[in-house]
Amino acid sequence: MITFEQHNQIQHCVIRCIALAQDYFKRQLTTPTLQFNQRGNVAGTAHLQKNLIKLNSTLLADNFDEFLLTVIPHEVAHIVAYQIYDRVKPHGLEWQAIMQNIFKLPATVRHKMDTTKTQGKMFNYKCHCSQVKLTLRRHNKVVRKEQRYSCRKCQQILVEVA
């Protein structure tokens, strides 16, 4: 769980990023709303049409400084790219330019935070060449016969290990 102080720091970081972008583009931008209900292994997501950034509170609590330094600017860059350029590739040239030229950060796509606390139960499946793990969601789809998954290497249908 994040503290009131951390929430304020995150909000101020978003406002600072928006201000930097406004100065750069010489244009008024709308500050996005924040939610702390992102699930899974994802640090954050930008919902462009809703002008909303969802953050993973579990990862945030364990990696607060990393969020301030990289995750918040990353997600704000998506919001800025949408407000300035409208529909562009999520990590395309416009987004990369915002990260590098405005926020002075490398345009990295994936975080390297420990996600062991956010990972759900995994289920073992196998094929001819290896064993793989499926998430609870994928496992349930297999059980309900809604989906079949195949190995990327040998193309055989995966079967649950008993």
- Among residues 75, 94, 146, 160, the one annotated as catalytic is 75
Question: Quick one: tokens of 9?
Answer: 């720091």
**Tokens for 94?**
């416009």
SS (H, E, C) the chain: CCCHHHHHHHHHHHHHHHHHHHHHHCCCCCCCEEECCCCCCCCEEEECCCCEEEECHHHHHHCHHHHHHHHHHHHHHHHHHHHHHCCCCCCCHHHHHHHHHHCCCCCCCCCCCCCCCCCCCEEEEECCCCEEEEEHHHHHHHHCCCCCCECCCCCCECEECC
Query: How far apart are the C-alpha atoms of 52 and 34, rounded to whole Å?
Result: 6
- Please say if 160 is a catalytic residue: no
Q: What is the CA radius of gyration of the chain?
A: 19
**Catalytic center residues:** 75
